[in-house]
Amino acid sequence: MATITDGRDAPGDVESQIVNATDRAGKTYSFDERHEAGRPADWWFQESHEGLILFTVFYTQACRWSSCTGCNLPSVSSCQHVGWRSIIEQVDAMLADPAVQSRRRDITKVIVSNNGSVLDEETFSSTALMYLVVQLNLHLPRMKVLSLETRVEYVDLAELEFLSRAIKEREEPAEIELAIGFEAFDDRIRNKVFQKGLSLGAFEGLVRNISRPHYRLKCYFMQKPVVGMSDEQAICDIRQGIDYLSGLAGKYGVAINMHLNPTFVARGTPLETAFRAGDYAPPRLLDVARAVMHGMGKNISIFIGLSDEGLAAEGGSFIRPGDETLVQHLEMFNRTEDYKVLMESCCLRHN
């Protein structure tokens, strides 16, 4: 029988939250209970203007919010609790991987994800998080940024201060970055349709709070995340998001990155149902480039996500036949943040 000694939810309560939220959102995927608990869900490298990024997705209990209608990331997580010992094993397994070992002196940034909130102690153990920081200090000597994916409500400034002190004790001090899912600028689309549960007031409060300790911020946006949004409306929404983030960066002096993900059709979500009915099509990569061009000369950096992480429904990727050259140009933009690459390769204008 579960007991509560510190005000946290009992394990069964957390599981019920996840299941109920998934059902309310009309999502039909199942969770991955067969995954080996001592292995990360996934990890990969990204090339960006910041250098080599190690993106690690740890296998933990799924996101407690689980209400975002177009998201099936929890499907590669467990609905049941994953303990700190197992997450520590995942840290060791990831860092011992030959590919990581061979490039450990080149990695300048680590993004820590569990397809939810790594700052939610109910789903990602605080013990395991502290262990991860120690191991990154020991094994990745050139890491300059530690990026932590989380929802706004789990951000604890005292916890971040402790983690920040720890990564500044390295031979080369590193910075904290918070990675927040924003998804769409339009409030109705973000909260009423996509069901993100993020208000501008809560977000701006976060930006204000992290400005004094000088933490960085990454904001995940999705281009065309919902049914009924035209391609031009989707471009406009991203451009408005760029202006909004650029304004906040200037106002508060916070380094902000927009991580723009073209929306893929996620299996087991209402978006897949609409796609099968012919009511939705993913955005075109050329339109993604058109949206990104608006960032030229603004106060933020932009990275274009070009992977569906193997979670797209059949035929539901945003990469279409014939897009191979354009993908290469977008990857070059990610590495250089050179807007001329987009202007010349995509025959675009800066307007």
pLDDT tens, residue by residue, 130-170: 999 999 999 999 999 999 999 999 999 999 999 999 999 99
Residues 141, 212, single domain; the answer is: no
Q: According to the model, what pLDDT value does residue 9 have?
A: 54
| In a domain? residue 4 | no
* Mean pLDDT for the stretch of residues 243-257: 98
How much is the mean pLDDT over the chain?
94
* Mean pLDDT for the stretch of residues 28-51: 97
The bridge status of strand 42-48 relative to strand 51-57 is antiparallel
Q: How many domains does the chain have?
A: 2
| In a domain? residue 5 | no
Residues 21, 50, single domain; the answer is: yes
Distance from C-alpha of 343 to C-alpha of 36, rounded to nearest angstrom: 45
Distance from C-alpha of 44 to C-alpha of 138, rounded to nearest angstrom: 20
Residues 133, 255, single domain; the answer is: no
pLDDT beyond 60 at 38: yes
- 173, 198, 232: which is the final residue of a domain? 173
Q: According to the model, what pLDDT value does residue 345 have?
A: 72
Q: Where is pLDDT greater, at 95 or 171?
A: 95
Indicate if the alpha-carbon torsion angle 65, 266, 60, 174 is positive or negative: negative
Share of the chain above pLDDT 90, in %: 93
Prediction pTM value: 0.94
pLDDT beyond 50 at 1: no
Helix H, strand E, coil C: the string for 5-48 is CCCCCCHHHHHHHHHHHHHHCCCCCCCCCCCCCCCCCEEEEEEE
Q: According to the model, what pLDDT value does residue 7 have?
A: 37
Q: According to the model, what pLDDT value does residue 123 have?
A: 97
| In a domain? residue 2 | no
Residues 6+ apart with CB under 8 A from 46: 52, 53, 55, 303, 334
* Mean pLDDT for the stretch of residues 184-210: 98
Residues 133, 214, single domain; the answer is: no
Q: According to the model, what pLDDT value does residue 350 have?
A: 65
Q: According to the model, what pLDDT value does residue 5 have?
A: 31
Residues 124, 201, single domain; the answer is: no
| In a domain? residue 313 | yes
6 — pLDDT class (breaks 50, 70, 90): very low
11 — pLDDT class (breaks 50, 70, 90): low
Residues 91, 54, single domain; the answer is: yes
Residue 105: domain span: 11-173
Q: Are 201 and 191 in contact (CB under 8 A)?
A: no
Q: Where is pLDDT greater, at 341 or 332?
A: 332
**Measured in whole angstroms, how far is the alpha carbon of residue 84 from the centre of its chain?**
22
- 131, 151, 173: which is the final residue of a domain? 173
**Measured in whole angstroms, how far is the alpha carbon of residue 57 from the centre of its chain?**
10
Residues 200, 338, single domain; the answer is: yes
Distance from C-alpha of 278 to C-alpha of 211, rounded to nearest angstrom: 45
| In a domain? residue 331 | yes
Residues 133, 42, single domain; the answer is: yes
Distance from C-alpha of 60 to C-alpha of 113, rounded to nearest angstrom: 10
* Mean pLDDT for the stretch of residues 53-73: 97
Residues 329, 217, single domain; the answer is: yes
* Mean pLDDT for the stretch of residues 102-123: 98
Residues 122, 189, single domain; the answer is: no
What proportions of the chain, in percent to the nearest 5, are helix, strand and coil?
40, 15, 40
pLDDT per position as a tens digit, 251-294: 999 999 999 999 999 999 999 999 999 999 999 999 999 999 99
What six digits make up the tokens of 263? 């929306």
In our burial notation (b when 16+ CB lie closer than 10 A, e otherwise), range 234-273 reads bbbbbbebbbbbbebbeebebbbbbbbbbbbbbbbbbbbb
Residues 154, 293, single domain; the answer is: no
**Phi and psi angles of residue 110, each rounded to the nearest 5 degrees, phi first:** -125, 125
| In a domain? residue 1 | no
Helix (H) or strand (E) holding 323, with range, is none
| In a domain? residue 225 | yes
Q: Are 298 and 54 in contact (CB under 8 A)?
A: no
Distance from C-alpha of 47 to C-alpha of 78, rounded to nearest angstrom: 29
Report in angstroms the alpha-carbon separations of 263 from 57, 110, 158, 201, 285.
19, 23, 35, 25, 10
Distance from C-alpha of 15 to C-alpha of 25, rounded to nearest angstrom: 16
Burial class (CB in 10 A: 0-12, 13-18, 19+), 17: middle
- 149, 173, 197: which is the final residue of a domain? 173
Residues 137, 281, single domain; the answer is: no
pLDDT beyond 70 at 349: no
Distance from C-alpha of 272 to C-alpha of 264, rounded to nearest angstrom: 9
| In a domain? residue 87 | yes
Q: Which of 11-20, 231-240, 300-309 has the lowest mean pLDDT?
A: 11-20
